[in-house]
Chain A
Amino acid sequence: KAGVTQTPRYLIKTRGQQVTLSCSPISGHRSVSWYQQTPGQGLQFLFEYFSETQRNKGNFPGRFSGRQFSNSRSEMNVSTLELGDSALYLCASSLAAGGGYTFGSGTRLTVV
């Protein structure tokens, strides 16, 4: 059974650019969440989607957005990149909301 797949694994972008990250959940999983991991802040919740609807959003600026498609695949977008956006972005999927989320390996974003 394939796990959660995140692409790309690594990305380098310049300040001011925008970036789109992709996540394919485990087959059958309809809930997809996104987290940002930085050394100083640990893992912080970005947003969660279920059946193409955003059900919860963390305390991040509007530059961070996401969406979910009918096949449960999800994308997150960060516009007007800042140096502080450099982080590991993790996607997790679950059959339903709540615990037991399975995480992907993440996308390492570096903003220069």
Chain B
Amino acid sequence: DQQVKQNSPSLSVQEGRISILNCDYTNSMFDYFLWYKKYPAEGPTFLISISSIKDKNEDGRFTVFLNKSAKHLSLHIVPSQPGDSAVYFCAANSGGSNYKLTFGKGTLLTVNP
């Protein structure tokens, strides 16, 4: 039972263009969502998060959009840079007494120079 799904295992974009990474969830109790970036042989690095009371959050080149009715969120990276090439994980938390993150399986982003 995969509660957080990243249906695209990989994505390739040109430097300077927009990268859009998608994530769907099934658990309506999730109320906090996060994106992490991971390079090989390193732990995931926190990028940006969004609470379910919002539908958009921006931080520099990174913007996360949340569509609660569709149970869908996306991460936009503009402009994409070669250093953004990594695996991106979507994660969700249901707050309250549930102290765990549920992760998607990740999307490998490749930004070509």
User: B-contacting residues of A (Cβ < 8 Å)?
Assistant: 4, 31, 33, 35, 41-45, 48, 50, 55-56, 58, 90, 92, 97-106
Contact = CB atoms under 8 A, between A and B. Distances in A.
Contact of A99 (B41, B49, B104, B105): B49
B43 A31 contact: no
A8 to B, nearest CB: 14
Contact of B106 (A31, A42, A48, A103): A42
Given A42-B104, A98-B32, A99-B34, A55 B46 contact: no
The 9 closest A-B pairs by CB, nearest first: A103-B43, A42-B105, A43-B103, A97-B99, A45-B100, A48-B99, A56-B99, A103-B44, A105-B43
Interface of B: 32, 34, 36, 41-46, 49, 89, 91, 93, 95, 97-106
Contacts of A92: 43
B95 to A, nearest CB: 6
**Chain A interface SS verdict (over half):** strand
Contact of A33 (B32, B89, B95, B99): B99
Contacts of A35: 101, 103
